[in-house]
Amino acid sequence: MHQLRDDFFDEGRRLDADPTTRHLSVCWICKGRIDYDADQGTTPESHHLDHRKPVSTHPELQEDPDNFEHSHKACNQQRGAGAPSPGLGEEMPAWW
């Protein structure tokens, strides 16, 4: 899992470095740009690997790269496990 996480971070950093692909590497929750200069999880604006389908309900997808999303550490933590993100046709979580 650690290797997958690092690979995903490197991919995001590559996408962010190119203005034509930068939109693919933004936070999938708030659509803001992620600070790829910071190490993963070290600041609120730094990168976190989020799971589109929460591991709590889809443990089989924990190591499936198709289920990975780029996010801010702060956004991922605020979202928490299990709360569906807005914009996918699902109900807004209570904190929104």
30 binds Zn ion (CB under 5 A): yes
End-to-end Cα spacing for the chain: 30
Residue 23: φ, ψ to 5°:
-65, -20
The nearest distance, CB 9 to Zn ion, in angstroms, is 15
Retrieve residue 26's tokens: 């933004």
Q: Binding segment for Zn ion among 12-20, 27-35, 42-50, 57-65 (CB under 5 A)?
A: 27-35
Distance separating alpha carbons of residues 61 and 78, to the nearest angstrom: 21
The nearest distance, CB 60 to Zn ion, in angstroms, is 26
Which parts of 36-95 interact with Zn ion (CB under 5 A)?
A: 72, 75
The alpha carbon dihedral of 16, 19, 23, 29 has a sign of positive
Q: Binding segment for Zn ion among 1-9, 22-30, 55-63, 84-92 (CB under 5 A)?
A: 22-30
**Furthest-apart CA atoms within the chain: distance in Å:** 36
Q: Binding segment for Zn ion among 2-10, 29-37, 54-62, 87-95 (CB under 5 A)?
A: 29-37
